[in-house]
Structure 1
Amino acid sequence: MRLLHTSDWHLGRTFHGASLLESQRTVLQEIIDITREQEIDAVLIAGDIYDRALPHVDAVKLCNWALRELAATRARIIMTSGNHDSASRLNFGADLLDAAGVHIFADLERMLQPAVLEGPDHQVLIYGIPYLEPRMVMDQLGVEKASHQAVVEAAINRIDEHLEQRRAEGTAVVSVAMAHLFAAGGVGSDSERELSTGNLDVVPVELFEHFDYAALGHLHGRQQVRENVRYSGSPLAYSFSEVKQTKGVWILETTAQGVVNIDEVRLSVPKRLVILRGELQQLLDDPELEYAVDAWCQVTLTDPERPAEAMQSIRARFPDTVVLNFDPQGAQAKEKPQSYAERLAKATSTEEVVGDFIEHVRERAADEAERTVLLSVIQRTREAQVL
């Protein structure tokens, strides 16, 4: 049997205010094509189908299209809910969709009803663990501590008991778990929403040692935590912290002996992310930066003083600059700066107070024309007070 592992579609997500729907459609079409060309028997989507609990109608339409096209390949589709999903909304119609080969695991009741793939000499049992919010499920799972480790461990213990019963029936069984969580040893990025603070969300990877494969979601970088425990990562980069990540999916091959092969298949990049750093004029003139013209750009300017109309200038060459930072360098920047409070305390005139305020707010002193206007306004104010 051949399985495809993907996750974290985050349909409906924007990138610094810009829609990603067309880019998402592009990479989903690739996943559909891979599923058809490689004769995939089941597509595993490990949570965060949507980017928000109440997705926009366009995101719902895109999901409907993707599932319809995947189903047309005759592959089974197995989905679990993630922390961005509304489990109840994602679970709507789950019983009816089972008959169409689309299996949704978004509540604990379905957790012990694995999707079963019948191979020529073995069965593949796919157990979907929905995203478990500790305080919402701890009573149902019979645990006393409201932690991710406690509820996930309780859920897996129940699955282990069920799995042992199925193995005792004599048929060769390959076990696959799907879950949306932060496994110890995984590497995160800036685009993931924290499940809790203080590392209380980390789950020991050893909990999955009894499974032939664990298809995890939540972390956006495709990675191998253990040989049999992997994250597929998101199909698109959703933050500049992912600029060096290679996006793709895992493809598993199973026999009666277990998971015998795991391959990576890379996905294309509809619109690349680029991080640029340097002085404004250098970035505008450098011919070697032509590759960044059509990319999403994060730019850090290192001019000793913040240039006027910096974003307008940088967008003249790099129109899709969405983040502009300022990190002054050079002789002037190396001097130990006074705090705004210190400068204000030393000011001896209204002109200095106003000038220090402008420089503090925009990190650039007023130029000659601006100082002329400021002095004129201050003088008129004084004359009005005298009158």
Structure 2
Amino acid sequence: MRILHTSDWHIGRSFHGHATLDALRGVLDALVEQVRENEVDVVLVAGDVFDSAAPAAACYAVLTDTLRALSDTGATVVVTSGNHDSAARLGFQASLLRDGIHVVTDPLSTGTPITLDDEHGTVHIYGIPFLEPALVRHLWPGAELRSQRQTIEHAMGLVRADAAVRGGRSVVMAHCFAAGVDATPGVEREIRQGSLDVVPASAFDGPDYVALGHIHGRQRLSERVRYAGAPLHYSFGEADKPRGSWLVDLDAAGLAGVEWLELPVPRRLSTIRGTLDELLADERFGDVETDWVCAQYTDATPQSDPMRRLQKRFPFCATVMHTPVGARGDDGSTYALRVRAARSDAELIDVFLSHVREGEGASERESEVIRGVIGEHTLAEART
């Protein structure tokens, strides 16, 4: 049996205020072609299908069209809900979907597989929807479910018990933060509190393959346990992480092989750094002019209207950051505390300049001008 493992489509998510629906639709069309070309039997979508609990109407159209296209290839499709999804909205029409498309959102379905057959026998696919401990613990009153770890371990206990009775090969889908993964800060919405909700890889012992979702970059926890990541880049922090899915083969004995299938990147992500004048004119930035751009300008002081000026050269400049060269590190004191600690007007102005310049205070020449102005002002006050 040949399986394609994908996840974290995040239909409806924006990229620095820019819509991504058209780009995602193109990438998902490419994924459908990969399913057809590789004669995939089963497509697994491991959670975070939508980016929000209340997606716009256009998001449903993208999902419907993609599921229909995947089904038209002859593949069975299994979708589970993630922490971004509303299980109710994602699963409300599950019973109306055409044969071969399964949307798993009911926590009580945990431990009940979707069973498929190939020339070697049966394969049981156990979809575990995202389980929020506070919302599902009443369903299993005899179990202590206070963390993601406890909840996933309980769910996997149900899976293993059922698989032991049924026999055959098994595949699990889950959406969680597993120990040992490399997350992208600020991208994956947290589903953990400190280390309490980190799920150990050992929780997934048993199945022939475990298809995980939630982390946006591909990850290999073991030969059997993997994250596929998101099919589209949603952050500059993901720029160096490839986009794609895992092509998984099962034979009579279980896992036979896993191959990475690259997906196209609609527009590259590039971070560029230099003074604003350099960013606007230097030829070394010529090859990124049509990329999504994160511009970091290093001038000592904030410049006027940098986004508008940069977008004349980089029409897809998505974010601008002022990162002065030689900025002093944070000494742990807040701006308010430094203001209160200033012993003179000159020091107060220096504190302000250091704050707005991210660490760089007044230069020697500026200090002279400040002292001169303050001196004249003080003299004028004394005469009134």
Distance 1:304 1:334 in 2: 12
Distance 1:199 1:292 in 2: 39
Contact 1:249–1:264 (CA under 8 A) maintained in structure 2? yes
Deviation at 1:259, TM superposition (A): 1.4
- Is the counterpart of residue 223 in structure 1 residue 219 in structure 2? yes
**Alpha-carbon distance change, 343 to 322 in structure 1, aligned in 2, over 3 angstroms:** farther
- Is the counterpart of residue 281 in structure 1 residue 277 in structure 2? yes
Contact 1:174–1:259 (CA under 8 A) maintained in structure 2? no
Gapped runs of 5+ residues in structure 2? 363-368
Matches within 5 A, 1:47-66: 47-66=47-66
Distance 2:341 2:296 in 1: 26
**Alpha-carbon distance change, 130 to 291 in structure 1, aligned in 2, over 3 angstroms:** same
Contact 1:343–1:356 (CA under 8 A) maintained in structure 2? no
Q: What residue number does 2:366 align with?
A: none
CA-to-partner distance for each residue in 1:7-35, whole Å, 9 max, x for gaps? 00000000111000011001100110001
Q: What residue number does 1:85 align with?
A: 85
Q: What residue number does 1:151 align with?
A: 151
CA-to-partner distance for each residue in 1:150-191, whole Å, 9 max, x for gaps? 111111111111100011xxxxx2210000001111111131
Q: What residue number does 1:179 align with?
A: 174
The AA in structure 1 aligned to 2:296 is T
Identity %: 40
Matches within 5 A, 1:1-387: 1-97=1-97, 100-141=99-140, 142-167=142-167, 173-190=168-185, 191-329=187-325, 341=339, 346-347=344-345
> SS of the residue aligned with 1:226?
coil
Distance 1:335 1:77 in 2: 51
Aligned length: 360
Q: TM-score, normalised by structure 2?
A: 0.86
Contact 2:274–2:297 (CA under 8 A) maintained in structure 1? yes
Runs of 4+ in 1 over 3 A off after TM superposition: 333-340, 342-345, 352-365
Greater CA drift, 70-79 or 288-297: 288-297
Distance 1:226 1:180 in 2: 16
Distance 1:101 1:277 in 2: 50
Distance 1:334 1:259 in 2: 53
Distance 2:285 2:228 in 1: 31
**Alpha-carbon distance change, 164 to 334 in structure 1, aligned in 2, over 3 angstroms:** closer
Distance 1:207 1:11 in 2: 29
Deviation at 1:355, TM superposition (A): 10
Greater CA drift, 179-188 or 308-317: 308-317
> SS of the residue aligned with 1:5?
strand
Greater CA drift, 138-147 or 20-29: 138-147
Q: TM-score, normalised by structure 1?
A: 0.86
Distance 2:129 2:305 in 1: 48
**Alpha-carbon distance change, 293 to 144 in structure 1, aligned in 2, over 3 angstroms:** same
Distance 1:336 1:107 in 2: 48
Deviation at 1:362, TM superposition (A): 7.6
The AA in structure 2 aligned to 1:128 is G
Distance 1:43 1:104 in 2: 12
Distance 1:325 1:137 in 2: 42
Deviation at 1:307, TM superposition (A): 2.2
Distance 2:117 2:55 in 1: 35
> SS of the residue aligned with 2:84?
coil
Contact 1:48–1:84 (CA under 8 A) maintained in structure 2? yes
The AA in structure 2 aligned to 1:284 is L
Contact 2:301–2:357 (CA under 8 A) maintained in structure 1? no
Distance 2:349 2:258 in 1: 65
Distance 1:359 1:51 in 2: 39
**Alpha-carbon distance change, 288 to 158 in structure 1, aligned in 2, over 3 angstroms:** same
Deviation at 1:75, TM superposition (A): 0.6
Contact 2:307–2:319 (CA under 8 A) maintained in structure 1? no
> SS of the residue aligned with 1:262?
strand
The AA in structure 2 aligned to 1:214 is V
Distance 1:189 1:315 in 2: 26
> SS of the residue aligned with 2:182?
coil
Distance 2:134 2:340 in 1: 49
Greater CA drift, 178-187 or 278-287: 278-287
Distance 1:187 1:358 in 2: 37
Greater CA drift, 246-255 or 107-116: 107-116
> SS of the residue aligned with 1:182?
coil
The AA in structure 1 aligned to 2:29 is Q
Contact 1:181–1:216 (CA under 8 A) maintained in structure 2? yes
Gapped runs of 5+ residues in structure 1? 168-172, 366-370
Q: What residue number does 1:170 align with?
A: none
Distance 1:204 1:362 in 2: 44
